[in-house]
Structure 1
C-alpha cells in the first residue's frame, strides 16, 4: 500500500513517449555520468544534470533526501544495461545492486538536460495477450479513444486481468471496463464491481479525523500520548507526535512496525493477524526516523495508529465509523471493509503483479491504512463530494482534509497528497495490495475526477496519469 509520490511528480511532468531521433547516444552519455555520481554518492552532481522541468518537480533538498534515504542505502550500482530506448527518446536502464535490481527511466530535454528521472522496481518484460481484450468502450469519440490508448498498454499484458475506469467531468460520468473479473470467465467488470482500494482508505481515515476534530472530540494538535496506555506513552520518542502528523505522514514513524512479520501467519495476507497488543508492544520501544513534524515519510503504521485512536474516541470500529460518517450520508452502498454475501458476489478475484491468483487482504488493528473495498461508482460519488461545498458536517470535514498541513518539497492536506499535473493542482491518492491497484485524483476547480481500479497488483498509476493528462 505504498505511495511513491516523488516518482508521481516526476512522471507527471512529461509523457513516457515522445517522438525524437538520434538521442540514444546523448542519453547514454548522461546516464554514465549519473551512474558515476551515484556510486560516489554525489546527489548534487546528479542534480546539476537536471533540466528545468525536473527542477520544478523536485527541489535540491528533496532530491538529496530521496538519494540519501531511499537510493544510496541500496549500495553501489554493480552493473547496468540499456533495456529499451522508446521512440528514440526514453531510455530504460536496468541497474543491479548487491541485493536488488531497479530500472531507471530517463530522457533529456531539448538542452540535453535530464527531464524524466524515474526509478521503479525491475521486472522482466511481460508479454502481450495474443488478441485484443474485451471492453465496453465503443470508441465513439476522441475521449473514448484517449481512454483506450491509455489503458491498452496495461490491460494487454498477460499479467493484467480487469480494469474499471470512471471519469467525472463537467457533471457528466463516463465509465469504461476492460478484461475480466476472473481469469477465463469472460465477464467484464462494471462500475459496480468491487475491488480492494488499498491506501485510498487513508483518505477516509483522514476524513474521520477531520469530522471528529470539527465535532470537538479531538484536536489535530493533540499529542498521540493522550490516547495511549501509560505503558506506551512513557516512550519519549512518541511525545512530540500529533494526530495531524499521523495523517500527513510527518510523525517520524516508519512505514511499518518491525514486529509485523513476527505476527503474520500467512505471508500473502500480512496484516490479518496484527492486533492492538502487537501494535502497543512495538510502540513501547520504537525509535523515530526523524523529528516529528519535520519530514514526510509515508507510514502505513501511522495511519493505522490514527484509526485505532479514533476507534477509542468514538467507541466504534473503523468500519462502523466509515459507514456512519461517510458512506451512509453519501449513499455509498458498495464501500466496506467486510463484505456481506451480496457484496461478495460483485467482488473480483485478485491477482499479483505476475498474474497469479492471490488472497484478498484481511486486516486487524491496522485496517484504517488500507482495508476498504469499493467500486468505481462509489468512488466517483466520493470524489464528487470532495469537489462540492455543502453546509453539512461531512462536507466541512472534507473541506478540512484539503487544507495544506505540510509543504516542504511535498504538499499534503490530511490524507491527501496535493500534486501538480500540468498547470493544475490535484488531490491524489493511490493504493496497492498484493492483488489490486487503485488510483483516485480530482481537481475541485475544474470539477474533474478520475478513478482507475485493477484486480492485478501491478501499478495502475501510469494509466491514471495518462488519462488525466490527455483529458484535462
Structure 2
C-alpha cells in the first residue's frame, strides 16, 4: 500500500456516444484532485483509445492517480499506481539530476570537458573533436547525432549492439554535426556518454550511483534498469502502431543515460514531490536541477525539441517552457521506448506536476497526451 493513501479499485461506466470505459482510481486526501485526474483522464482515454493509460498529478504535496484500459491484452487488469512501464527518454532527466548531484559533491563541474571524465578508447576518440563540456551533453548541444550507426541486434535483445566501441568508432571516423554549444539537436548518444562520465567521476557503476543518490532515498523501489520478479508481474505491455503487443526486452548495459529506466506512477509522483519541495539535504541539487542553462535564442539551430511544447530553453535534460498568459513556467520531458510513451511536467513555482503514460506507439495519441498534460498542469496551477 502506498504511503500516500489507500487504493480504491473501482469499475465505472462512462457513456460518451457508445463508449464504455473501465478504470481504477487511487484515492487520496485531496478529493478535488482525485476527481480532476479521473475526469480528465477519462476524456483523454476516450479521445486516444489506447490499450492502457495512466494519469497522475501532484498539487500542494497531495497526489492522485487514475488508470484506464488494460495493462496487457485481455487481462482485465486495469493500470494503477503500481503498474510498471518503461519511461524511455524520461531517463534523461534522471541523468540530468545525477549531474546536479555530482556538481553538488564537487565530483565534476558543468563546464568540465567530457574528456576529463571519459578515459580509455572513448576518451581518446573524443580528443580529435572540438571540446564538448558536460553541460553540452545534458542540453543536447554537443554536436552529436541522435543515434550512432551500429550492427543489427537480435529481436530479443535489440539494444545489444549499442556499445562503447560503437560510440568510439563513430567518434574516430565522423565529424560532429556542429561546434559544441552552437546549436541543439536531440541526442541519445550524448546522454549515454554523460552517464558513463558520471560513473567514472563517481568511481562506481552508474546504476549504483543512481540508486544511492535518487531512487533509494526516495523509496522508489520500482524504478530501475532491470525488472525484479515482483515488477515483472505488474508490467504493462507496450504495443506497436498497429496494435500488436511488443515483447519485454532487456535494456542492456549502455543506455543508462538515455532511456533504459522502468518505473511506476507511484514512484514518479514521489520523485515529483521531491522536485516540488523546498528544504532538505538535497536543496542545492534541486536548485541546480531546476535552472536553465541554454537559451533558444542563443542557438544557431534547434532540431527535434518541440514535439511536447515549444522549447524556450534547456535545463539539465529538462525542456523549459516560459510562462505565458495561459500557463506557468514548465519543466517537461517526454519518453518513448518499446511501445510505451510517457510525459512528465511540473511547475516549480506552483507546486504542481502531471504525469501521463500510454502503452502504444501512437503519435497522434502522444501529441494529445502532451497537449492534455500541459493544459491540465496550467489548470492545477490556477491558470
Report the equivalent of 2:313.
411
Distance 1:250 1:326, change over 3 A: same
Instruction: Return the offset for 1:246.
Output: 0.4
1:373 aligns with 2:262: yes
Instruction: Return the offset for 1:131.
Output: 4.3
Q: 1:160-171 residue pairs with structure 2 within 5 A?
A: 160-171=50-61
Distance 1:276 1:167, change over 3 A: same
Instruction: Return the offset for 1:278.
Output: 2.3
Instruction: Return the offset for 1:463.
Output: 2.1
Distance 1:225 1:333, change over 3 A: same
Higher relative contact order (CA 8 A, sep 6+): 2
Q: 1:192-203 residue pairs with structure 2 within 5 A?
A: 192-203=82-93
Report the equivalent of 2:304.
none
Is 1:305–1:366's contact at 8 Å kept on the other side of the alignment?
A: no
TM-score when normalising by structure 1: 0.67
Distance 1:220 1:467, change over 3 A: closer
1:149 aligns with 2:40: no
1:399 aligned counterpart, secondary structure: helix
1:277 to 151, 165, 173: 165
Larger displacement relative to structure 2 (456-465 or 300-309)? 456-465
Instruction: Return the offset for 1:186.
Output: 0.8
Instruction: Return the offset for 1:282.
Output: 2.1
Larger displacement relative to structure 2 (375-384 or 359-368)? 359-368
Distance 1:342 1:141, change over 3 A: closer
Instruction: Return the offset for 1:171.
Output: 2.5
CA RMSD of aligned residues (A): 2.4
2:343 to 433, 439, 448: 439
Q: Which runs of 5+ in 1 are unaligned?
A: 1-127
TM-score when normalising by structure 2: 0.81
Distance 1:306 1:447 in 2: 29
Q: 1:51-450 residue pairs with structure 2 within 5 A?
A: 131-136=19-24, 141=35, 144-154=38-48, 156=49, 160-229=50-119, 231=121, 232-233=123-124, 235=126, 238-258=129-149, 260=150, 262=151, 264-266=152-154, 269-361=157-249, 362-392=251-281, 394-409=282-297, 410-420=312-322, 422-450=326-354
Is 2:114–2:132's contact at 8 Å kept on the other side of the alignment?
A: yes
Distance 1:249 1:129 in 2: 45
Distance 1:458 1:251 in 2: 30
Post-superposition Cα deviations, 1:274-295, rounded to whole Å, max 9, x if no partner, equal 2222222222223111110011
Is 1:223–1:239's contact at 8 Å kept on the other side of the alignment?
A: no
Distance 1:164 1:347 in 2: 13
Distance 1:222 1:249, change over 3 A: same
1:164 aligned counterpart, secondary structure: strand
Distance 1:330 1:144 in 2: 26
Distance 2:283 2:271 in 1: 11
1:469 aligns with 2:360: no
Post-superposition Cα deviations, 1:346-387, rounded to whole Å, max 9, x if no partner, equal 111221222111133422322210000001111011111111
Number of matched pairs: 337
Q: Which runs of 5+ in 2 are unaligned?
A: 1-15, 298-311
Please list every run of at least 4 consecutive aligned residues from structure 1 whose deviation after the TM superposition is greater than 4 angstroms.
Answer: 128-131, 137-143, 234-237
Distance 2:343 2:322 in 1: 15
Distance 1:141 1:305, change over 3 A: closer
Is 2:42–2:68's contact at 8 Å kept on the other side of the alignment?
A: no
Post-superposition Cα deviations, 1:425-465, rounded to whole Å, max 9, x if no partner, equal 11100100131011100001111100111222224342242
Distance 1:217 1:235, change over 3 A: closer
Is 2:125–2:168's contact at 8 Å kept on the other side of the alignment?
A: no
Distance 1:327 1:234, change over 3 A: closer
Post-superposition Cα deviations, 1:23-42, rounded to whole Å, max 9, x if no partner, equal xxxxxxxxxxxxxxxxxxxx
Distance 2:45 2:181 in 1: 38
Report the equivalent of 1:52.
none
Distance 1:339 1:411, change over 3 A: same
1:175 aligned counterpart, secondary structure: strand
